[in-house]
Amino acid sequence: MNQTDTRRIPTNRHLSEARWRLLGQVLRHRDRGQTVEELAEALSVSRNAVQQHVTSLERDGLLRVLGHRTTGGRPGRAFTLTEAALELFPRSYAKLADDMLRNVRELFGESGLDQMLVKMADEVANELEPRLAGKQGGERIAEVAAILHELGYEASVDEGGRLLAANCVFHRLAHSSQAVCRYDHVLLRRLLGDEVDQLACITDGSAACVFTLR
């Protein structure tokens, strides 16, 4: 998807079991794709039900047409996964990210790590800011919480309008480097459009990192 596409891609936690099974079937045959008829047979589901799921998944940017072929005596489109769909399947990104950042710090010091994380935060913010266009106040905070949740922070907004992040995406490194918290601050400042204060941190034993607007 290009940067002008504003569709929100569902995360795996938002997919129904039926659609998750369908994506898994397409994943196993993504080199040649799967038609609606093939999916219906493989999943033991009616053709109409599969067609509804396929239409929805294609609309959400998770399936794309790979080609056309005839199955079961009727011509049909063969679908494969998009890059966005592939990213829904498990990856070992957490360990890779921790190892990469640890090596950056060993090679370039704390200052080098800080500079890299700030640059990463700016790039993430640049990509996500279009989703916040026109949103202010509580609506903007709620959307930022949704974004953080999609990034793996397990984020929410409490009754006082504070942002809570129950998961640290760089958990292991955060215990030994303040640069990781700097990443969070830069990202939140860009997304919220204002300075933020951190009231609590997971690395200090709190149940969640807590942020509030100044």
Distance between terminal CA atoms of the chain? 35
Residue at 7 is within a domain: no
Element (DSSP H or E) covering residue 83: helix 83-86
Are 112 and 178 in the same domain? yes
Taking the alpha carbons of 90, 20, 5, 69 in that order, is the dihedral positive or negative? positive
Indicate the residue among 86, 115, 134 that finishes a domain: 86
Stated pTM of the model: 0.59
Token pair of 28 as six digits: 């196993």
Are 32 and 57 in the same domain? yes
Tokens 């907004």 belong to residue: 157
Are 45 and 120 in the same domain? no
Are 79 and 121 in the same domain? no
Expressed as residue numbers, the domain containing 82 is: 12-86
C-alpha to C-alpha distance for 131 and 145, rounded to whole angstroms: 12
Are 115 and 182 in the same domain? yes
Are 78 and 112 in the same domain? no
Domain count, the chain: 2
CATH at 174: 3.30.1380.20
Q: How does pLDDT run along the chain (214 residues), one tens digit per residue?
A: 333 344 555 555 568 889 999 999 999 898 889 999 999 999 999 999 999 999 999 999 999 999 998 876 778 899 999 988 887 876 666 677 778 888 999 999 999 999 999 999 999 999 999 999 999 999 999 999 999 988 888 899 999 999 999 888 877 778 778 888 889 999 999 999 888 999 999 888 888 899 998 8
